[in-house]
Structure 1
Amino acid sequence: MVALVLWLVLKPAPARPGTASAIPVRVASVEQKDVPRFASSIGTVLSMHSVVIRPQIDGILTRLLVKEGQWVKKGDLLATIDDRSIRASLDQATAQLGESQAQLAVAQVNLKRYKLLSVDDGVSKQTYDQQQALVNQLKATAQGNQAAIDAAQVQLSYTQIRSPVAGRVGIRNVDEGNFLRTGDSEGLFTVTQIDPIAVEFSLPQQMLPTLQRLIAAPDRALVKAYIGADGNTGELLGEGHLSLIDNQINPNTGTLRAKAEFDNAAQRLWPGQLVTLKIQTALDKNALVVPPTVVQRGLEQHFVYRVKGDTVESVPVTMVYQDSDLHIIKGVNAGDQLVSDGQSRLKPGSHVQVLSDPPALTKTSESQP
């Protein structure tokens, strides 16, 4: 009798069904929100205007009025070339014009006089015609002199080199005092427009209908540029819009070139830089969004584990859109609790224990080289 009492007191308590076998999992809620879709590509930053500043006449470079790296506006004076010879030619052409105009004035007075005298046969018809020819000749001479003045003024304007665009001055190739020639290939320096700026990129030819739709849309398609060109999204450098697509597809690569334009007041985009682009191609309104780790792939379709009380059920879902950050699915409801970690041990009806804290990080010693 004593032994029976002791056994009843000391026997282990039976395990609660479903408690010891509960599988620890982590869950995520289904969110409903507007989700933009993006297509990715690697692009090269290009200046919309980059001009090599070259002389248009031969001459000595007398002054450089800008420094390397300086920002200039369109029409700003950049440099001057010795203009003394051209000014002398202009003065000579001006003097010749004055001489021709004086001779023309005298000839026209005589022509009027001969015309009156010819009525009474005071002068012969031949004399009148010769005077008329002289007037025409002096008019042509005066026009030639005026053309010489205009040409000299054009040449004189070339002695002042002005910026054709607004932008940033590059590295200087020539110093003051050098003799410049129009055939010099390098030029003085470049002026490159930085703001706004463009990015050129390529996409598969299958994207042509999408790009055409974006170009024709009244709202310009959003394009984001990120630092780096390794395919990973890094730091955001700027937001712009799709501006044009090329007029032909490259038959060798099956790709289509396109351009996006960016406001670049902060100068974070620089000509020649490689960047990662994300082009917004669509906007899914009221989409059901889950983390990528939630969706599992079965033999025939995708599915998720939905928490129901302390158990889970398998729910087939349709994949609408996916990227590295999120998946858009159909087949569940907003607010549903779906398993995001621990699915490998689950099956429909499994008992689960929802964990709230993130797993502790395991410290490992650094390996020595």
Structure 2
Amino acid sequence: MSSWSAVRQQGRVRWWFVSLVLLAAAAAGAWWWKQQAPAAASAGAARAPGRFSGAGAAQPVSVGVVQRQDLRVMVSAIGTMSARATAVVRAKASGELLSIKFKEGDEVKAGQLLAEIDSRSYQATLTQAQGNLQRDQAQLKNAQLDLQRYQDLLAKDSIAAQQVDTQKALVRQLEGTVAADQAQVDAAKLQLSYTRITAPISGRLGLRQADVGNVVGPSDAAGIVTITQVRPIDAVFSVPEAQLVAINQRLQSGASLPVELWDREQKQRLARGRLGAVDNAIDATTGTIKAKAAFANEEGALFPNQFVNVKLQVNLLKDVLTVPSTAVQNNYVYLVRPDGTVTQRRIRVGVVDGDRVSVEGELQDGDQVVTDGIDRLREGAKVAVIDSGAATRADAAAQDAGARRTALMASLTPQEREQVAKMTQEERRAFFRNRRAQAPQAAASGASAAVASTQAASAAASPGSAPVR
């Protein structure tokens, strides 16, 4: 009898728990369906061709306008950034590095103090040289006075001429000694100045190659730090030799050739500059010639050895007929007529500049050509012009809805996920609708409270109650 009561009590607990979960799932699913129905309907409308016309025969297409405009003739190339100047800062005098006055990556000016070396030995050498100079200067002064006296005595015929000549030779000897001493003093001052290491050029500092306490000298290959001049900076790239004639003509006429730099994906323009020079020989292996363009790089976004995509403008076509590049398919475009039908027009494709291409054919300025949906068209087909961004926005709305639902599923406990998997579609919609209406914290606490109340109700139930079948 006790085992039968336990079975009845266990069945009553399950019935309460399942009932509570089903009610919550139905409410959440209904709320979710109400919120997502408009977005789903918009997405369906954007994808369904038959909804763009009453009869369902018109094909939805996006169009672009034929227009006359100036078009650039561009040459694409792959280039590498090159510093205008590079200098490795080395110590000109050997000694212990006492202090470093710069920060890695900083911009410095020519002559700016970067580091200091222990100068005590060089100061002692300078002091010694100055002492020798003062001693020899005193001896020279004395010899010059003696010479003056000897010359006075010689004028009175009171001294031999040989003694005067000997004194003159001594004066000249001491003058040479003083000159040598002065040179030693100047050399010692120069060596002492080398203990203050300054920037030889203006530019950007690299990573430090020596630390305080290291003994540095002129023979250090890595030096202390490297400076690269990046304002301005150059880009080196190769262009086909077929473009050399047009480039030289523009350069000789004094015209500037604009150059654009783009990132690897060619989605972001990095800088604009001007062509500076071309090399003096063509590479016979590749049939190209190197060119160099200069860029101000005021924001410091370009670095030496950086890979870039280069677009060189070699000419500018004035007032040419252009269409969107997406409208061209196998040298044909679909022209939209005033009656809503399309007709094929054969064209001759010219220069491409960005998303526009120059064409020649039976087109007029202001005509509309199909840019999206070309693969579903034929001659004389009925079309309905739609906003080119409608489908994109509908897809984005659907993706956002899916992302929110994925995030909500991730917030469920394993038991709740198992329960949701067993629900019908309507129950699942009601469940998600209910969960979206609640904050995550409230939902979590509510679920815990629901389980606790269910267990309490089951424990309080009478053992003699009939089980629910």
SS in 2 for 1:74: coil
Task: Determine the C-alpha separation between the residues in 2 that align with 1:77 and 1:357.
Answer: 62
Report if the CA contact (8 A) 1:244-1:260 is conserved.
yes
Distance 1:130 1:327, change over 3 A: same
* Residue 463 of structure 2: aligned partner: none
SS at match of 1:152: helix
Counterpart for residue 3 of structure 1? none
Give the structure 1 partner of residue 447 of structure 2. none
Give 1:282's aligned amino acid: N
Residue correspondences, number: 339
1:342 matched residue in structure 2: 374
Task: Tell me if structure 2 keeps the 8 A contact 1:60–1:177.
Answer: yes
Matched, 1:320 2:353: no
Match of 2:259 in 1: 223
Q: 1:267 aligns with which of 273, 279, 300?
A: 300
What TM-score does the superposition give when structure 2 sets the normalisation length?
0.65
Residue 190 and residue 21 in structure 1: after superposition, are their counterparts in 2 closer, same or farther (change >3 A)?
Answer: closer
Correspondence list, 1:72-111, <5 A: 72-111=108-147
Check the 8 A contact 1:36/1:283 in 2, yes or no. yes
Query: If you compute each CA radius of gyration, which structure gives the higher value, 1 or 2?
Result: 2
The partner residue of 1:284 within 317, 332, 342 is 317
Task: Find 2:199's aligned residue among 157, 163, 188.
Answer: 163
Q: Does structure 2 retain, via aligned residues, the 8 Å contact 1:25–1:343? A: no
Deviates more, 1:268-277 or 1:351-360: 351-360
Identity between Structure 1 and Structure 2 (%): 37
2:248 aligned counterpart, secondary structure = helix
Structure 1 residue 160: deviation in Å?
0.4
Which amino acid in 2 is paired with 1:270?
F
The structure showing larger relative contact order (alpha-carbon pairs under 8 Å, at least 6 residues apart) is 2
Alignment-mate amino acid for residue 334 of structure 1 = D
For residues 1-369 of structure 1, the aligned pairs below 5 Å read: 26-228=62-264, 232-297=265-330, 302=331, 304-310=333-339, 315-323=345-353, 325-331=355-361, 332-340=363-371, 341-342=373-374, 345-347=377-379, 350=380, 352-358=382-388, 360=391
Q: CA deviation at 1:120?
A: 4.3
1: CA distance between counterparts of 2:214 and 2:269?
45
Q: Is the 2:72–2:353 Cα contact (8 Å) retained in structure 1?
A: no
- Are the structure 2 counterparts of residues 318 and 100 from structure 1 closer, same or farther at C-alpha, using a change threshold of 3 Å? same
Partners in 1 of 2:188 and 2:131 — Cα distance? Answer: 13
Greater strand percent: which structure?
A: 1
Structure 1 Cα separation of the partners of residues 273 and 293 of structure 2: 7
Give the unaligned 5+ runs of structure 1: 1-18
What secondary structure sits across from 2:145 in the alignment? helix
2:326 aligned counterpart, secondary structure: coil
Q: Cα RMSD between the aligned structures?
A: 3.0
Q: Hey, what's the Cα distance between the residues in 2 that align with 1:314 and 1:124?
A: 123
- State TM-score, norm by structure 1: 0.80
Call closer, same or farther: CA 1:64–1:237 in 2, change over 3 Å: same
In 2, Cα distance between equivalents of 1:154 and 1:39: 53
Aligned partner of residue 335 in structure 1, secondary structure: coil
